[in-house]
Structure 1
Amino acid sequence: MSETEYGFDPAKLRAARDAAGASVARIARAAGVSERAVNLYLAGSRTPRPETLVQLAAAVDVAPADLCTVEHEVLAHLRVYTGRSRAAMAQALGMAEETYRQRETTGHRGRLSSSRYDHAQDRWIAWQEWAPPLFGITAERLLAAEQHTRENYSAEREERCRQLRERDPDRVAMIEELGRRLREQ
């Protein structure tokens, strides 16, 4: 399972535990972890793995996303909330792992994962129609997460470029000149 930062919030787990009236022992049994692990999650000393997050959420009767705090959901968050690795999510979506990795990282669909043919309905079905149930969410939430993923990717890319310009301006100038020459051809 990837080490995706997904915003686990121990305060939300404590609140959900209180609302459910669940003991540490009951949560531990239901989540398949030790009582010590649950206490570490509650204290914020440890972050549960994504598959454990799903089990903790079930133990206190909330959705995995309800135990997290993120400013904007991205595709990686939605995958983590299902408790799946990238490989497992790719398999569930019926696409190659690298195709899914690119989608989750950049937010861009690409030609191979934008739609799929449904033989039973004898028609092409768009991503926003067939993928949301596999994430357990609405199409609107999926499309918003894709948009935030694209925005994050663009911002990270711009920051890397800025850092490169500061570190090695001569190299950047050479690359830009090569690009200009190629466009002129």
Structure 2
Amino acid sequence: MSETSYGFDAARLRAARSAAGTSVARIAKAAGVSERAVSFYLAGTRAPRPAILPRLAAAVHATPADLCAVEHETLAHLRIYTGRTRAQMARTLGMAEETYRHLETTGERGRLARSRYDDREERWIPWQEWAAPLFAATAQRLDAAEQHTREQHRAERERRWQHLQQTAPDFAARIEELGRIGRALRER
């Protein structure tokens, strides 16, 4: 299971519990966890594992996203909201786990995450149309999550590059030089 921080918010769980008018015992039974675990979730001392999040949300008549506070949803968030591991999502999408890991961390789709031919409809189905239901999202929400994933990946890559330049300037300069050489060779 990915250890992706998915933004679980205990205050949102408490509000949903209050709105649902349900007890800790009923939430625990519906979610398949102990009452102690639910108490920890409500107190904010522990976040539920992603696999438990959908069951916990259903127990308080909410969606998994309702229990999370994130500024921008990424593909990891959409996956976690379904309660799937990376391996499970890869199987659901019909791709190798490493291919899916790349998609989820970079937001870049490879050949396997493009349109698919539907024999029954006799047409090509675009990625957003066939994949969105598997993420339990709309095509627009999936598209936005992909974009935010790409932006997050680029920002993290830039942050790491800045850190490398500060901590190992000679190494960073050598990497830049190798990049220039590679670009020159490709242009030949």
User: Normalised by the shorter chain, which TM-score bucket?
Assistant: over 0.9
Equivalent residue, structure 2, for 1:91: 91
Rounded Cα–Cα distance in structure 1 between residues aligned with 2:72 and 2:183: 37
Taking structure 1 as the reference length, the TM-score comes to 0.97
Equivalent residue, structure 1, for 2:62: 62
Ranges in structure 1 where 5+ consecutive residues have no aligned partner: none
SS at 1:117 equivalent = strand
Rounded Cα–Cα distance in structure 1 between residues aligned with 2:179 and 2:84: 40
Equivalent residue, structure 1, for 2:79: 79
How far does the alpha carbon of each residue in 1:139-179 deviate from its partner, in whole angstroms, 9 at most, with x for none?
00000000000000000000010111111111121222222
Q: Which amino acid aligns with 2:130?
A: W
Q: Which amino acid aligns with 2:163?
A: Q
Rounded Cα–Cα distance in structure 2 between residues aligned with 1:69 and 1:154: 22
SS at 2:62 equivalent = coil
Equivalent residue, structure 1, for 2:114: 114
Query: How many pairs are equivalent?
Result: 185
How far does the alpha carbon of each residue in 1:79-120 deviate from its partner, in whole angstroms, 9 at most, with x for none?
000000001011111111111110000001122211212122
Compare 86-95 and 109-118 and name the one that shifted more. 109-118
Q: Which amino acid aligns with 1:16?
A: A
* Residue 42 of structure 1 pairs with residue 27 of structure 2: no
Ranges in structure 2 where 5+ consecutive residues have no aligned partner: none
Taking structure 2 as the reference length, the TM-score comes to 0.95
* Residue 27 of structure 1 pairs with residue 27 of structure 2: yes
